[in-house]
């Protein structure tokens, strides 16, 4: 069974850092495009970052550009989202998603990604 599991969320002060992991079981992540999305209370889910198959393309939302970095740990069959200089507005549940498409997207539309994790809570607060 194909499964994605996020980890690494938690409570952090503004300006701090968190490292989110997206671990896959049942399939090999480096053959998939991966996206990170987030949903804050009362808001629609939005795309944060993505990485295409074979790492041809990496994309970031304007709101996180220069602060977040997406990468792969192929040995661990994991995708990492390093989040630095966190702000209160980054507070949300963060989800990773996988698609067999060659290209990735941070646009959230039905069918963009076939597999989703359950999410991990990130809270940025003093």
pLDDT reported for residue 88: 97
SS3 assignment for the chain: CCEEEEECCEEECCCCCEEEEEEEECCCHHHCEEEEEEECCCCCCEEEEEECHHHCCEEECCCCCCCEEEEEEHHHCEEEEEECCCCHHHCEEEEEEEECCCCCCCCCCCCCCCEECCCEEEEECC
Per-residue confidence in pLDDT tens, the chain, 126 aa: 789 999 999 999 999 999 999 999 988 988 999 999 999 999 999 999 999 998 889 999 999 999 999 999 878 899 999 999 999 999 999 999 999 999 999 999 999 999 999 999 999 999
């Amino acid at each position: 069974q194909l499964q994605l599991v996020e980890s690494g969320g938690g409570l952090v002060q503004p300006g701090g850092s968190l490292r989110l992991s997206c671990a896959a079981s049942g399939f090999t992540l480096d053959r998939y495009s991966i996206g990170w999305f987030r949903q804050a209370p009362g808001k629609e889910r939005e795309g944060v970052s993505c990485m295409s198959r074979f790492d041809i393309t990496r994309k970031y939302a304007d709101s996180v550009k220069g602060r977040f970095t997406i990468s792969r740990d192929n040995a661990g069959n994991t995708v990492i989202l390093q989040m630095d200089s966190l702000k209160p507005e980054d507070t949300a549940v963060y989800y990773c998603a996988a698609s067999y498409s060659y290209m990735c997207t941070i646009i959230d539309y039905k069918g963009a990604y076939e597999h989703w994790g359950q999410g991990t809570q990130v809270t940025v607060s003093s």
